[in-house]
A and B are shown apart, each in its own frame.
Chain A
Amino acid sequence: MDEAAVKLKLKEWIVERSKIPVIDGQFSYDTNIIEEGYLSSLDIVEFILYIESLLGDELDMEELEPEMFTSTNTMYDTFFATV
C-alpha cells in the first residue's frame, strides 16, 4: 500500500469510530485527533490493534509513546514510513 492509501485507511478508521463528525474542511492529516475530540484514549487502544493488522505485525508496546498518535501524519511517519 502506498502512503496515500495508508493515510486514507487511517482516516477511514477515525471517521468510523469518531463520536463527532469528521468534516473535510476541518479535518486534515495534521489534525490532533485526541485534543480535537475525534478519539478518546480508549479508542487509541483499538487503533493500535488496527494499525497492527494493517502492518501485519505486532508493535513493541514498550516503544510506544503517546506523541506517535497525535495525528494521521505522525502515525504514518512512526509506523509505516520505514516499512
Chain B
Amino acid sequence: MSEPRPLIAGFLASATQFPDRPALSIQSDQWTYADLHQRASDITHTISAHAEAGFPDLVGVFGHRSVAAFSGVVSALLGGGAYVPLNPTFPSERTLQMVERAALTWIVAEREALADLLQILQSVSRPVSIIVPDFLPEDGSISLPEGCGQHRLIGAEDLLSQGLVGLPDIDSDQLAYLLFTSGSTGIPKGVKVKQSNVAAFVDVMVERYGVNENDRLSQTFDLTFDLSAFDMFVAWERGACVCCPTLGEKMLPAKYVKSQALTIWFSVPSTAIMMKRLRMLKPDSYPTLRYSLFCGEALPLDVTEAFQLSAPDSIVENLYGPTELTIACTLYRYNQKTTAGESQLGVVPIGYPYPNMTVLIVDETLHEVAVGEAGELLMTGPQLSAGYWQDEEKTAAAFVVPPGKNEVFYRTGDRVKQVSDKAPLLYLGRVDNQIKVQGYRVELGEIEAVLRDVAQADIAIAIGYPEGIEGAEGIIAFVSPSAIADKQVSAAAAEHLPGYMQPRDLIRVEEFPLNANGKVDRRALLNSYVKQGG
C-alpha cells in the first residue's frame, strides 16, 4: 500500500509553488504562504522540542479568526498530529469539558483569549503548555495567575525558529481533527475525523470547483464547525486565500463579499436568508462569485433563486453532510429550469453522493427500502470517520454493518427519499430529537439534560422555536416546578451551553400533556405556548 498522504501536503505544495501569494486575510492584514508556513513551523518546532514523549497526538487551538489560531491548526498537522478546535465564545464549562475529554497537554491560544483560557485551566490539574504566538515582548511579561502554577506559557519570544517543517510521516489512521458535537444525553460527542477522510473530501472539491491560486474563499464558520475545514483545506490545497470577515462584515455580509472580492462563498442557509430579508440579494450584486455554496441546514428554494440572481456568474450548490461523514457527503447543483420541479416543501434537494461515497436508504430494521420510499440515510466510503472519541457504545450504535452488507455505514439519523431511481435525494427531517439552530447541530436532549440538572427539576423539554423549514431560530424550554428560580436556571444554563442553545424563554409547567405513547406531547406544549402569545 502506498504511503498515506498527510492532509497538510496540499498546503506545503502551495507554499512551495506560491510562497508569496496570500494564504490568509484578516481585517486589512494578509499573510503569505511563506509567512504562515514559517509561523506554523516555529510552533511545531517548539512543541517538538519540549514534548518529551514526542509530538502530541492532539493539539488544542483556542482562538477565533486570528493568525495565531490558523497557525495552530497548521502546526498540529505539520507535527503529524491532529488539532482540537476550542472556541472562546463557548461557555467555560464546555471548553473545560473538551480540554479534559481530549486530555490536552498542548494548546495554541490567541493573546486576546488567553485570560479566559487561563481561568478555565485553573481547574485542570494535568500540566498544560500554552503557546501564545502573538504575545510579543512589548506586551509585557507573560505570567501565570494563581492556580495555574502547573501550566507553562510560551510567548513569541520563546518560540524556536529552526527553519521550515516539511512533510510529516503519518499512518493511515492519523486523525486530522477531533471535533465535539452536541450529544443527546448531555455529554458532547467527540468525532474522530481522519486525515484520509478530509483528503478524500478536498480532492473532490478542488476538482469539482477548479480551485486555483486566484480564488478567495469566505471563512464564515468557526473552527469548531467542521465546515471551516472546507474553508482552510480546499483553499490551501490549491494556493487560494482564506478571507476572514471582520466583526462588522459579519453583520453586513454584502460588504464582506464585495470588499474581499470573494470568488467562492460558503455559508449556512441562515446567512443567505438574512441577506434576503435585508434586501442584500439584489440582482447582480456579487459579480465576483464563481461558486455559491450552502450547507448545514435545509436550503429554501426561494432564497436559492434569489442568491443565484444576485450572483449570476456563480454556480449555486447545496451541500449536505454530518460531521461523521467529513464535512459534506452529498451535493446538488441548482438549475433555474429544473430545481423547482425537483424540490419538495420549498426545500432544495440534497442531491447525489460524492464520488466514491455509497448511499443506503433503510427502514427501522436497517433493510433497504424500495425506490420512492422514505427511510433513514446511511452512507459509507472514504469520508467515513473513525467514530467517537472514547465511546465504543455510541460508536457501535451509529456506525453499523446493515444486514446483508459487508461494510460499516454511518447512520445519519436523517430521513430522505428519492422519488425515482435517478432523482436527487430529498431531505425530509430527522428521525430523532436533533434539530438545527442557525445551522448548528443541536441535540434537544443535551439542553434538556442541562436544564434538569441546573433546575433540579424532574422534567425539562426543549423545543426549537420559532420553527422554519430551515430549522429553528432559537430554543424555548418547559420545565417542571423546582426550588431553583428561573433567573438562576437561565444563568446556570448559560454556563454550560453555547449561545444558540440557550433557551430564550423558560416556562414552568405543572402537568405536561402526554401523547398516546405516554411520552410528553411536544406538539401540544408548543401549541399552548403559541396560543398564549409566546
Q: Which residues of A contact B (CB under 8 A)?
A: 19-21, 34, 40-42, 44-45, 48-49, 58, 61-62, 64-67, 69
User: Do residues B502 and A66 form an inter-chain contact, with CB atoms below 8 A?
Assistant: no
- Write out the residue numbers on chain A whose beta carbons fall within 8 Å of the beta carbon of B57: none
Taking a contact as CB atoms closer than 8 A, the residue among B250, B254, B438, B491 that contacts A61 in the complex is B254
* B494 proximal to A (CB < 8 A): yes
User: Do residues A61 and B494 form an inter-chain contact, with CB atoms below 8 A?
Assistant: no
* B247 proximal to A (CB < 8 A): yes
- Write out the residue numbers on chain B whose beta carbons fall within 8 Å of the beta carbon of A42: 270, 274, 438
User: Do residues A49 and B277 form an inter-chain contact, with CB atoms below 8 A?
Assistant: yes
- Write out the residue numbers on chain B whose beta carbons fall within 8 Å of the beta carbon of A21: 491
CA distance A44 to B249 in the complex (A): 12
Interface string of B223-258 (1 = CB under 8 A from A): 000000000000000000000001111111011000
Minimum CB–CB distance for B280 against chain A, Å: 6
- Write out the residue numbers on chain B whose beta carbons fall within 8 Å of the beta carbon of A66: 246-249, 251-252
User: Do residues B250 and A45 form an inter-chain contact, with CB atoms below 8 A?
Assistant: no
User: Do residues B278 and A45 form an inter-chain contact, with CB atoms below 8 A?
Assistant: yes
Can you add 16 more A-B contacts, CB < 8 Å, to A42-B274, A61-B280? A19-B494, A19-B502, A20-B494, A34-B247, A41-B247, A42-B270, A42-B438, A44-B251, A45-B251, A61-B254, A61-B278, A61-B279, A64-B252, A65-B248, A66-B247, A69-B251
* B147 proximal to A (CB < 8 A): no
User: Do residues B494 and A45 form an inter-chain contact, with CB atoms below 8 A?
Assistant: no
- Write out the residue numbers on chain A whose beta carbons fall within 8 Å of the beta carbon of B494: 19-20
- Write out the residue numbers on chain A whose beta carbons fall within 8 Å of the beta carbon of B149: none
A19-B502, A34-B247, A42-B274 as given contacts; A58 in contact with B279, CB under 8 Å: yes
Minimum CB–CB distance for B505 against chain A, Å: 11
CA distance A58 to B279 in the complex (A): 10
Identify 12 residue pairs between A and B in the complex whose beta-carbon atoms are under 8 Å apart, listed by A's number: A19-B494, A21-B491, A41-B247, A42-B270, A45-B278, A49-B277, A49-B278, A61-B254, A61-B280, A66-B247, A66-B249, A66-B252
Q: Residue of B at shortest CB range from A35?
A: B247
Interface string of B263-306 (1 = CB under 8 A from A): 00000001000100111100000000000000000000000000
- Write out the residue numbers on chain A whose beta carbons fall within 8 Å of the beta carbon of B491: 21
CA distance A40 to B251 in the complex (A): 8
Chief secondary structure at chain A's binding surface:
helix
- Write out the residue numbers on chain A whose beta carbons fall within 8 Å of the beta carbon of B255: 64
* B168 proximal to A (CB < 8 A): no
CA distance A19 to B251 in the complex (A): 18
Taking CB atoms and an 8 Å cut-off, the chain B residues in 426-464 that contact chain A are 438
- Write out the residue numbers on chain B whose beta carbons fall within 8 Å of the beta carbon of A61: 252, 254, 278-280
- Write out the residue numbers on chain B whose beta carbons fall within 8 Å of the beta carbon of A40: 499
User: Do residues A41 and B499 form an inter-chain contact, with CB atoms below 8 A?
Assistant: no
Q: Residue of B at shortest CB range from A44?
A: B251
Q: Residue of B at shortest CB range from A58?
A: B279
User: Do residues A41 and B279 form an inter-chain contact, with CB atoms below 8 A?
Assistant: no
Minimum CB–CB distance for B422 against chain A, Å: 38
CA distance A21 to B490 in the complex (A): 10
Interface string of B23-63 (1 = CB under 8 A from A): 00000000000000000000000000000000000000000
Minimum CB–CB distance for B477 against chain A, Å: 14
Q: Residue of B at shortest CB range from A62?
A: B254
**Which are the 10 A-B pairs with shortest beta-carbon distances?**
A66-B248, A41-B250, A41-B251, A44-B251, A45-B274, A66-B251, A19-B499, A61-B280, A61-B279, A64-B252
A19-B494, A61-B254, A66-B248 as given contacts; A45 in contact with B277, CB under 8 Å: yes
CA distance A40 to B247 in the complex (A): 9
- Write out the residue numbers on chain B whose beta carbons fall within 8 Å of the beta carbon of A44: 251
- Write out the residue numbers on chain A whose beta carbons fall within 8 Å of the beta carbon of B254: 61-62
Q: Residue of A at shortest CB range from B275?
A: A45
Minimum CB–CB distance for B88 against chain A, Å: 12
Interface string of B489-500 (1 = CB under 8 A from A): 001001000010
Minimum CB–CB distance for A40 against chain B, Å: 7
- Write out the residue numbers on chain B whose beta carbons fall within 8 Å of the beta carbon of A19: 494, 499, 502
CA distance A20 to B502 in the complex (A): 11
CA distance A44 to B252 in the complex (A): 9
- Write out the residue numbers on chain B whose beta carbons fall within 8 Å of the beta carbon of A67: 248
Q: Residue of A at shortest CB range from B273?
A: A45
Q: Residue of A at shortest CB range from B249?
A: A66
